């Protein structure tokens, strides 16, 4: 190894040389198992040149782990999580007549499907989130059958729900988005 490179690695405390007959080293020479200012751990690799002949220099390496720094979550992540949770908080609008017991059972079923599978992307009130707003759904899909096809087969970033829900459940959620949201 090049002499300037060896000196640089010793100065950076990444590796150092052990002279023949030198059995130990002090903490000043070897920062074994310490943490540096960034919280990275350094550890000593002791079995580097086991087959070296007598009188040979032994090179000892120090491994720097950056896992602890990489694994630390960025402070913005919990904030974004709380904002998203707040956006998803709440429940979908009630079906008219639900408080008096005269609600249309198809709309009640549509609200249940909406709450289970749609509100997480489109927001509980249909205002939109990672999925588009449902506020102008009748203008976007004048024919309810076209909306049924999109829900059943999926489109773009929206997954297909045809394998999860029956046609009657999909029609119920279509009615709920058109008549309640």
pTM comes to 0.52
Query: Are the CB atoms for 161 and 152 separated by under 8 Å?
Result: yes
Quote the distance between the C-alpha of residue 71 and its chain's center. Answer: 12
Q: Residue 68: which residues within 8 A CB-CB, separation 6 or more? A: 39, 40, 41
> 124-144, pLDDT tens digit by residue?
999 999 999 999 999 999 999
> 39-88, pLDDT tens digit by residue?
544 444 444 444 455 555 555 555 554 545 555 666 666 665 555 555 55
State how far the Cα of 117 lies from the Cα of 94, in Å rounded to an integer: 16
Beta bridge partners of 59: 17
Q: Which of 10, 28, 169, 161 is nearest to 105 (CA)?
A: 169
* Tokens coding 171: 């029609």
* Tokens coding 131: 């999925």
Q: Where in the chain is the domain with CATH 1.10.760.10?
A: 88-179
Q: What is the mean pLDDT of the chain?
A: 74
CATH class held by domain 88-179: mainly alpha
Query: Are the CB atoms for 42 and 13 separated by under 8 Å?
Result: yes
């Amino acid at each position: 190894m090049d002499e300037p490179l060896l000196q640089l690695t010793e100065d950076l405390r990444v590796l150092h040389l052990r002279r023949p007959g030198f059995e130990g080293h002090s903490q000043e020479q070897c920062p074994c198992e310490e943490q540096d200012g960034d919280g990275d751990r350094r550890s000593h690799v002791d079995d580097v040149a086991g087959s070296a002949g007598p009188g040979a220099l032994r090179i000892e390496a120090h491994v720097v782990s950056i896992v602890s720094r990489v694994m630390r979550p960025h402070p913005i992540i919990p904030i974004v999580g709380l904002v998203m949770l707040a956006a998803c908080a709440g429940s979908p609008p009630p079906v008219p007549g639900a408080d008096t017991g005269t609600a249309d059972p198809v709309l009640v079923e549509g609200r249940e499907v909406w709450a289970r599978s749609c509100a997480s992307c489109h927001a509980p009130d249909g205002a939109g989130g990672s999925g588009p707003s449902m506020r102008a759904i009748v203008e976007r899909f004048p024919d309810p059958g076209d909306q049924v096809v999109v829900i059943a087969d999926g489109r773009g970033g929206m997954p297909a729900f045809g394998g999860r829900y029956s046609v009657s459940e999909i029609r119920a959620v279509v009615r709920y988005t058109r008549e309640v949201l």
